[in-house]
Amino acid sequence: MNTAWDAPENQPLRFNPPDGWRMPDPVWVALHQGFDPPDNWQPYPDCPPAPPQWPFWEENGAAWFGFFRHFQPPLRRGLGGWFSLVAVGLFLMTATPFFLNWPQWLIVGLAGTAAAIIGVIGIVKHFQTSAKIPSEDPMDIIRRVAGDRRDDYFQKRYDKHRQTSETEKSYQEFIDELYQWWWRENVSVEES
């Protein structure tokens, strides 16, 4: 699945910082979609505390729905096809007597009846299958995808850093510096 979260308008959630907080770097926002901070979390030392129950994330309009389109089961996407088959079948059953002669309209009408029956069976099976699909909290899905993207991002950036930098940092030191950069805690850190 390709989730193009490089631009803020493509991210399913918008970060909503409390009053007095710095806005983090867009990369932090993209890699921490749905992050649920612990109580009294402060991303940088002089950060004022967030009010209790602060909504750090809000839905980002159409990007929210676009993100979840990738998680729909295939049968749900095909529901329109089943309804279309029923509609074509009903049209053939009712309209053919008016524009075809006796033997032809019977054959086309029977084909329309078969199409309508197959479409109704498809719709019924769809709803039976949908009832069996376990539902997952949308925020958990976003957090899982963001966590996978974050892990991949950190590993690729760290590998690139080790190949191009003369200083050897541990993986954790490298990540800590990225967090400082993202929250503009240490602007001298170079983005590599």
Q: List, for residues 91-114, the tens digit of each pLDDT value.
A: 888 888 888 888 888 888 888 889
* Amino acid in position 159: D
Domain ranges of the chain: 8-72+138-182, 74-132
Nearest 5°: phi and psi at 14?
-105, 135
Q: Residue 133 pLDDT > 70, yes or no?
A: no
pTM: 0.64
Three-class SS of residue 57? strand
* pLDDT of the residue at 150: 93
* pLDDT of the residue at 185: 67
Q: Residue 145 pLDDT > 80, yes or no?
A: yes
Q: Residue 62 pLDDT > 70, yes or no?
A: yes
Give, in order, the Cα–Cα distances in Å from 105 to each of 92, 98, 171. 9, 8, 74
- Beta-carbon contacts of residue 9 (< 8 Å; ≥ 6 apart): 60, 63
Q: Residue 134 pLDDT > 70, yes or no?
A: no
Q: How far is CA 152 from the centre of its chain?
A: 17
Average pLDDT taken over every residue of the chain: 83
* pLDDT of the residue at 132: 57
The residue-averaged pLDDT of 31-51 equals 89
Q: Residue 121 pLDDT > 80, yes or no?
A: yes
Percent of the chain's residues with pLDDT above 90: 27
* pLDDT of the residue at 67: 84
Q: List, for residues 156-192, the tens digit of each pLDDT value.
A: 999 999 888 888 888 999 999 998 888 886 544 444 4
- Residue positions counted in the chain: 192
Q: How many CB atoms lie within 10 A of CB 34?
A: 19
Give 21 or 71, the one with higher predicted confidence: 21
- Beta-carbon contacts of residue 186 (< 8 Å; ≥ 6 apart): 177, 180
Place of tokens 């069976």: 121
Give 26 or 7, the one with higher predicted confidence: 26
Q: Residue 71 pLDDT > 90, yes or no?
A: no
Please, are residues 92 and 47 in contact by the beta-carbon 8 Å criterion?
Answer: no
